[in-house]
Amino acid sequence: METIQIIDSKKHVGETVKIGAWVANKRSSGKIAFLQLRDGTAYFQGVVVKNEVPEEVFQLAKNLHQETSIILTGEIREDSRSKFGYEIGIKTIEVVSESRDYPITPKEHGTDFLMDHRHLWLRSSKQHAIMQIRNEIIRATYEFFNHHHFVKIDPPILTGSAPEGTTDLFETNYFDQKAYLSQSGQLYMEAAAMAFGKVFSFGPTFRAEKSKTRRHLIEFWMIEPEMAFTHQEESLKVQEQYVAFLVQNVLDHCGYALDVLGRDKEVLKKYTKLPFPRISYDEAIALLKKNGFDDIEWGDDFGSPHETFIANSFEQPVFILNYPKAIKPFYMKPHPTREEVVICADMIAPEGYGEIIGGSERATDYDFLLEQIQNHGLDEKEYSWYLDLRKYGSVPHSGFGLGLERTVTWIAGIDHVREAIPFPRLLNRIYP
């Protein structure tokens, strides 16, 4: 008898198979017991019919507790009434390990309770669907960048630099020196682009931001492509192609997960159409002012109500181009004719999900960068290697960073970024 995974049921219709699974839920009548089974690959129903199995098998099935682990055998059948489409007619059940008083029951639980039980909450079907979408976005990311000849480069996590400013750094001891957890691998990716042309990183980044919003994590995963001989215009094309590719692959490979989450696929399809709209920072300010946002002036950064209003003015993700230099990091290339503006863009997701990409063309002028490093209060010594890149065959280059969890939150259509990562680190939470 073959041991299979639930996800492969369709290849085994009519066969008797063995499966290792957990009991997610159960209901029974006098004559029949329905077990909701999960094995990590999928969820489906196991049916135990009293007069088709020995009495002890039926009694065992009726008395299984939620999350007991079992090995079962039975015949795979089509089941047109379930979304999954298949079920198993159970013949034997062997208990591997009991589960008593599982804390997450099918009733409603509060968010704090669920977050305290995140190690168990991950087993639920909604969380499973979200992690499948996360996994698909990770898979499609590697496919996209490999296909376009990008080399995956892993920047360090312990660093001496602060590319995104000094206010939200996690400081740690590096023997007798100070070090920080990486906020962004970008500066190292610039060095890598000069060595390998087109590169991307994919790793954890850390921001000690005292933000408690549905968009902020303290530890999040970022994809940071960096491209030599590339101006901002070409980078924007890569960004929109990449994001449309992610949405298309989730549509192609995660239909079931999207159904579990109740995500409207027709809405997602709009996000695969290129190009994405663009608006300049100046136009965005004018648009907001015209629509009653009296709280914002040229030079201010956007808050989430502003981003949401701008996003709602378009059908697709929208690029906001060329922000004021004063509110952006030190490394961005200045605009050729307006010194108060830099060549950059943020991509704002639709439906109020906020910024998912930040990117820019990078400054190449040695003296400009040195002055910027000084003006931003950064330690010159720590950036000497970075300045070297402008001394030895510097070229125009551009790059961007996409926040994985914000992208998952948006594509999955869920409310809060904390459910888009297996074990979220939040302002007031490092457990479990």
Residues that bind ligand 4AD (CB under 6 A): 163-164, 184, 186, 207, 209, 216-217, 220, 222, 224, 355-359, 399-401, 403, 405-406, 417
Nearer to ligand 4AD, 243 or 356 (CB): 356
Closest to 194 in 3D by CA, of 234, 157, 235, 227: 227
- Integer Cα distance of 24 and 356 in angstroms: 34
Closest CB to Mg ion: residue number: 358
Closest distance of CB 329 from Mg ion, Å: 9
Nearer to ligand 4AD, 19 or 341 (CB): 341
Closest distance of CB 224 from ligand 4AD, Å: 4
Nearer to ligand 4AD, 60 or 218 (CB): 218
Scan residues 332-361 and list those touching Mg ion (CB under 5 A).
358
In the block, residue with structure tokens 């087993």: 123
Give the interface size with Mg ion as a residue count (CB under 5 A): 1
Q: How far is CA 336 from CA 238, 339, 343, 363, in A?
A: 23, 7, 9, 11
Closest distance of CB 192 from ligand 4AD, Å: 12
Q: What is the DSSP letter of 31?
A: S
For residue 114, the SS3 value is helix
Residue 141: contacted member of ligand 4AD, Mg ion, none (CB under 5 to 8 Å, by partner type): none
Closest distance of CB 236 from Mg ion, Å: 15
Closest to 278 in 3D by CA, of 224, 333, 345, 359: 345
Residue 250: contacted member of Mg ion, ligand 4AD, none (CB under 5 to 8 Å, by partner type): none
Nearer to ligand 4AD, 95 or 395 (CB): 395
Residue 403: contacted member of Mg ion, ligand 4AD, none (CB under 5 to 8 Å, by partner type): ligand 4AD
Nearer to ligand 4AD, 72 or 356 (CB): 356
Per DSSP bridges, beta strands 318-321 and 278-280 are parallel
- 206 forms beta bridges with 219
Closest distance of CB 379 from ligand 4AD, Å: 18
Neighbours of 207 (CB within 10 A): 22
Residue 207: contacted member of ligand 4AD, Mg ion, none (CB under 5 to 8 Å, by partner type): ligand 4AD
Q: Which two tokens stand for residue 5?
A: 């995974």
Residue 228: contacted member of Mg ion, ligand 4AD, none (CB under 5 to 8 Å, by partner type): none
- 94 forms beta bridges with 71
Nearer to ligand 4AD, 46 or 358 (CB): 358
Closest distance of CB 209 from ligand 4AD, Å: 5
Residue 155: contacted member of ligand 4AD, Mg ion, none (CB under 5 to 8 Å, by partner type): none
- Integer Cα distance of 201 and 225 in angstroms: 6
Closest distance of CB 227 from ligand 4AD, Å: 11
Tell me the residue type at 374. Answer: Q
Residue 383: contacted member of ligand 4AD, Mg ion, none (CB under 5 to 8 Å, by partner type): none
- Integer Cα distance of 145 and 333 in angstroms: 24
Closest distance of CB 103 from ligand 4AD, Å: 28
Closest to 419 in 3D by CA, of 65, 11, 94, 128: 128
Angle CA 279–281–284, to nearest 5: 65
Nearer to ligand 4AD, 88 or 194 (CB): 194
Helix (H) / strand (E) containing 233: helix 232-253
Closest distance of CB 39 from ligand 4AD, Å: 31
Nearer to ligand 4AD, 136 or 346 (CB): 346
Nearer to ligand 4AD, 36 or 308 (CB): 308
Closest distance of CB 240 from Mg ion, Å: 17
Residue 317: contacted member of ligand 4AD, Mg ion, none (CB under 5 to 8 Å, by partner type): none
Residue 97 burial by Cβ neighbours in a 10 Å radius (0-12, 13-18, 19+): exposed
- Integer Cα distance of 115 and 110 in angstroms: 9
Residue 186: contacted member of Mg ion, ligand 4AD, none (CB under 5 to 8 Å, by partner type): ligand 4AD
Instruction: Spell out the alpha helix ranges (H) of 33-160.
Output: 55-62, 111-116, 118-121, 125-147
Q: Which two tokens stand for residue 133?
A: 């979408």
Closest to 411 in 3D by CA, of 308, 261, 310, 274: 261
Residue 424: contacted member of Mg ion, ligand 4AD, none (CB under 5 to 8 Å, by partner type): none
- Which residue ranges make up the site for Mg ion (CB under 5 A)? 358
